[in-house]
A and B are shown apart, each in its own frame.
Chain A
Amino acid sequence: MYSFDPTEEQQMLIDAVQRYATNDLRPKAHDAEEEGEIPEKLIEKGWELGYLQASIPEEFGGFGERSLVTGVLAAEELAYGDFAGTLAIMAPGLFAIPITIAGSLLQKENYLPEIIGGSWKAYSAALIEPAYDFDPMDLRTVAIKDGEGFLISGEKTYVPYAAEAEKMLLYARMGDKIQGFIISKGMEGVEIGERQKTLGIHALPLYPVKFNGVKVSADNRLGGDEGHAFEPILSSMQLAMASMALGVSRAALDYAIEYAKDRDVFGVKVAQKQAIAFMLAEMATEIESIRLLVWEAAWMMDNGKPEAHRQAYLALTGAADMAMMVTDRAVQTLGGHGYIREHPVELWMRNGRGFAMLNGLAII
């Protein structure tokens, strides 16, 4: 039976996240972007909202059950505040959520309570590779059997907090499967490069990482001896990106609306011109319809529908296009002012371009 109403608990979470995103994350976004650093206190406050903690079962120290629907609702609200900040707050999830989904019992017991027990700590994942045709289902980083363990070689890019992270998940191709491996700080053969410079999300520290024949023991393969399926992880990454695209787009639309209603032109407000008003109407329609696509994919994931993975792929495809269209038009609505960094729309436009290629930077 169709319903588009979040549950009471979800609504409470949305409200709490929204308050934080609006009152804390957004006001700091500009300086964080310019300085290339997100204040620790800000991240800690976001961490305390307990989004990740609520995705992990009680037996491993959390207080909830993972739901993709809840995940997309919360991620949209967070990203409404700031995309880079959202990625920072959710970085521990890059390690913890795949372990929750696919880890062995031992791995869950070993890692989950520690990650979610205290303050925010840097964790990461290395998925994206520096190739124009990067394909998460066909990685160039390769893991081969080496005695009891594995030997991994390859090159990764855009690894958040690579320099600080205690642990990260490294994704590599093993035969025709994509498998995750647990990498600890300081392991031999892990070569972390200089912090990267990108089009957007300057506030988030990203690094290239080379893996030169890194030896990983058998019990550090995600899922243990059996390994794991990669699709559920990939789809959850796609839906994280897609829902953040919704948040950034909605932020851009709201800002454009507010500006257009305030800006005088030819004796009226610029929003009273159909050329602007129609653009805004199309942006709103685009966001609303793609949001439903994202929700449906998340619902399919939660309910184990066989078409869920294709739907998640379609959702991110649509969301990435939406984000580019909406953020571009938000800049256009502000005209010359939109091009100036005092207004956030140019940042959102730079972020908007990223959703098509940054899949792997977050998971819900």
Chain B
Amino acid sequence: MIDFEIPKPIAMTMTALETVAVNMMRPKSRYFDEHEHEIPWDYITFMHMAMRQTGAGSLAPAEEKKKEIPEGKERPRIGYQQLSFMLEMLSWGDCGMYLDTPGGGLGAAAVEAAGTSEQKQKFLARFRGEKPVFGAMAMTESQAGSDTSAIRTTAVLDKDTNEWVLNGEKIFVTAGHKSLCESEGFVVVWATIDPTAGRAGMRAFVVPAGTKGVQVSKLEHKLGIRVSDTASIVMQDARVPFENLLGSAEVIKEPTTKGFKGAMATFDATRPLVAATAIGVARAALEELKKILEKEGVVIRYGLPRQKITAIEREIIDMDVMLRSAWLLIIKSVWMADNRMPNSKEASMAKLRAGDIVNRITQRAVEILGPLGYSREFLLEKWFRDAKISDIYEGTGQINRLIVARHILGYTGRELR
């Protein structure tokens, strides 16, 4: 039965998250925007403690223990839905600071999506320790962005020691510095075991902090989300144990695209979540815009025909439509993920729509408020800058259009390039 009631367990956590967003994130937003590369330890320490207590975890919901659920009485799965709400609220607070949340981030999500259960146990345990620990995913290289099959970082098996030897340079690694230099975390590095094989050669490797030959070579200066570190990572003969290759041992023998598909599966799971962060920013901007207008005596009159309302009212009403419909698209795609339905099309739809509307809303909000919008006295100009990343990372709007188009047209990647 079609139902839009927010699940109770989610509704119950939202107040607490809002408190965090209001009290720990918003008051620090401006400071960290102006002090790039400083680390918001207060927020990090608090979130780590809170998450340890509640058992909330990484980007990907941990698999539920089968023992606890009597057969036939399976509880409805809402893990991804819960995460969407959580990420939306934290990003409403500050979407850059949310990226500093300890717990494994995209690195843990990749382990969840592509790792064996032994690997999950082994690698994810570190996030539940005393100190906050970070995880990251390293995919992009200077010559390979959306075209991930063009990556050149290599992994060669040293049969004598049964270790993988990694060489190459990764860029744009979100939280790469905190994962390797500020905690005992890891980075999931995508590399090729056969540079001639294209996608079929791609594999993911867990590269822990402290691995010799791994170095953070650069921290980027960015348009927005400045409180989140974006690192370049150089690997020179970096050695990791054989078991750090994600997936079962067979994946190294098969000349298949399983590894690549593993990466893409990660994105199917995380795209709606990244979209949820965009919605958080969009909602923040729209609420702030309404608040300032209200103070100026502008009342938004809902329910009137368009011919009777002002241009500003029309804009705001359109923003309400955009925001709500984009959010519902996310909810549907994570509901599908929770129910183990293939959601690649819906995930990409959610991502591209959220990327569109957050930019539209923040750009228009700055314009509508004129000189006030442009001022750093308010956070609107910051959200305008923060918003842009939502249409870029985890698949640009264009890549997601390509994915949606292939689905609705029934085309392969070869038929629609």
Bound pair (A, B): yes
* A289 B1 Cβ-Cβ under 8 A: no
Docked pose: A261 CA to B417 CA in angstroms: 15
Residues of A within 8 A of B320 (CB): 314
Residues of A within 8 A of B329 (CB): 285, 288-289, 292
Main DSSP-derived SS at the B contact region: helix
* A289 B325 Cβ-Cβ under 8 A: yes
Closest to A309 in B: B303
Is A332 part of the contact surface with B, judged by Cβ < 8 Å? no
* A277 B328 Cβ-Cβ under 8 A: no
Is A23 part of the contact surface with B, judged by Cβ < 8 Å? no
* A3 B3 Cβ-Cβ under 8 A: yes
Partner of A284, one of B4, B303, B322, B404: B404
Is B318 part of the contact surface with A, judged by Cβ < 8 Å? yes
Q: How many contacts A-B (CB < 8 Å)?
A: 138
* A133 B308 Cβ-Cβ under 8 A: yes
Residues of B within 8 A of A69 (CB): 2
Is B317 part of the contact surface with A, judged by Cβ < 8 Å? yes
Docked pose: A135 CA to B303 CA in angstroms: 9
* A278 B405 Cβ-Cβ under 8 A: yes
Partner of B303, one of A137, A274, A293, A300: A137
Interface centre among A5, A253, A314 (most CB of B within 10 A): A314
> Contacts A2-B331, A288-B329, A310-B303 given: A271-B308 contact, CB under 8 Å?
no
A290-315 interface (Cβ within 8 A of B): 290, 292-293, 295-296, 299-300, 303, 309-311, 313-314
Partner of A281, one of B1, B302, B404: B404
B318-365 interface (Cβ within 8 A of A): 318, 320-322, 324-326, 328-329, 331-332, 335-336, 346, 349, 352-353
* B402 A295 Cβ-Cβ under 8 A: no
Residues of A within 8 A of B401 (CB): 274, 277-278, 281-282
Residues of B within 8 A of A42 (CB): none
Main DSSP-derived SS at the A contact region: helix
Is A280 part of the contact surface with B, judged by Cβ < 8 Å? yes
> Contacts A280-B405, A288-B349, A289-B329 given: A314-B2 contact, CB under 8 Å?
no
Is A63 part of the contact surface with B, judged by Cβ < 8 Å? no
> Contacts A2-B331, A292-B329 given: A277-B402 contact, CB under 8 Å?
yes
Docked pose: A211 CA to B404 CA in angstroms: 52
Closest to A310 in B: B302
Docked pose: A321 CA to B360 CA in angstroms: 16
* A277 B416 Cβ-Cβ under 8 A: yes
Q: What is the CB-to-nearest-CB distance from A361 to chain B, in angstroms, rounded to a whole number?
A: 15
Closest to B7 in A: A1
* B308 A135 Cβ-Cβ under 8 A: yes
* B306 A4 Cβ-Cβ under 8 A: no
* B4 A280 Cβ-Cβ under 8 A: no
Fill in one digit per residue for A50-85: 1 if any B CB lies within 8 Å of its CB, else 0. 000000000000000000010000000000000000
* A289 B349 Cβ-Cβ under 8 A: yes
* B332 A292 Cβ-Cβ under 8 A: yes
Residues of B within 8 A of A180 (CB): none
Residues of B within 8 A of A290 (CB): 325
B34-77 interface (Cβ within 8 A of A): 76
Is A6 part of the contact surface with B, judged by Cβ < 8 Å? yes
> Contacts A284-B349, A285-B404, A317-B317 given: A295-B305 contact, CB under 8 Å?
no
Q: What is the CB-to-nearest-CB distance from A241 to chain B, in angstroms, rounded to a whole number?
A: 13
* B302 A313 Cβ-Cβ under 8 A: yes
* B76 A1 Cβ-Cβ under 8 A: yes
Interface size class of B (residues with CB under 8 A): 35 or more
* A285 B349 Cβ-Cβ under 8 A: yes
Q: What is the CB-to-nearest-CB distance from A298 to chain B, in angstroms, rounded to a whole number?
A: 8
Docked pose: A289 CA to B349 CA in angstroms: 9
Closest to A318 in B: B321
Residues of B within 8 A of A137 (CB): 303-304
Closest to A231 in B: B303
Fill in one digit per residue for B1-44: 1 if any A CB lies within 8 Å of its CB, else 0. 11111110000000000000000000000000000000000000
* B303 A280 Cβ-Cβ under 8 A: no
* A2 B4 Cβ-Cβ under 8 A: yes
* A300 B402 Cβ-Cβ under 8 A: no
Docked pose: A310 CA to B7 CA in angstroms: 23
Is B408 part of the contact surface with A, judged by Cβ < 8 Å? yes
Residues of A within 8 A of B352 (CB): 281-282, 285
Is B179 part of the contact surface with A, judged by Cβ < 8 Å? no
Residues of B within 8 A of A3 (CB): 1-3, 335
Residues of B within 8 A of A261 (CB): 409-410
> Contacts A134-B305, A274-B402, A317-B317 given: A293-B4 contact, CB under 8 Å?
no
* B408 A257 Cβ-Cβ under 8 A: yes
Closest to B338 in A: A2
Fill in one digit per residue for B377-396: 1 if any A CB lies within 8 Å of its CB, else 0. 00000000000000000000
Closest to A298 in B: B2
Residues of B within 8 A of A285 (CB): 329, 349, 352-353, 404
Residues of A within 8 A of B332 (CB): 4, 288, 292
* A314 B405 Cβ-Cβ under 8 A: no
Docked pose: A10 CA to B303 CA in angstroms: 30
* B302 A318 Cβ-Cβ under 8 A: no
A214-268 interface (Cβ within 8 A of B): 253, 257, 260-261
* B317 A314 Cβ-Cβ under 8 A: yes
* A299 B4 Cβ-Cβ under 8 A: yes
Residues of A within 8 A of B410 (CB): 261
* A313 B303 Cβ-Cβ under 8 A: yes
* A2 B3 Cβ-Cβ under 8 A: yes
Closest to B2 in A: A69
Docked pose: A87 CA to B332 CA in angstroms: 30
Docked pose: A303 CA to B2 CA in angstroms: 12
Docked pose: A284 CA to B76 CA in angstroms: 29
- The contact sample of 7 A-B pairs, CB cut-off 8 A, is A6-B2, A272-B416, A274-B416, A284-B404, A293-B328, A296-B4, A310-B303
For the complex of A and B, the 10 pairs showing the least CB-CB separation, nearest first, are A292-B328, A277-B405, A318-B321, A281-B404, A289-B325, A281-B405, A133-B307, A293-B325, A289-B329, A281-B401
Besides A10-B2, A260-B409, A277-B409, 18 new A-B residue pairs in contact (Cβ under 8 A), listed by A number: A1-B3, A2-B4, A3-B335, A5-B1, A5-B2, A7-B2, A133-B305, A133-B308, A135-B304, A271-B411, A277-B405, A281-B352, A285-B404, A288-B346, A289-B328, A292-B332, A293-B325, A299-B3
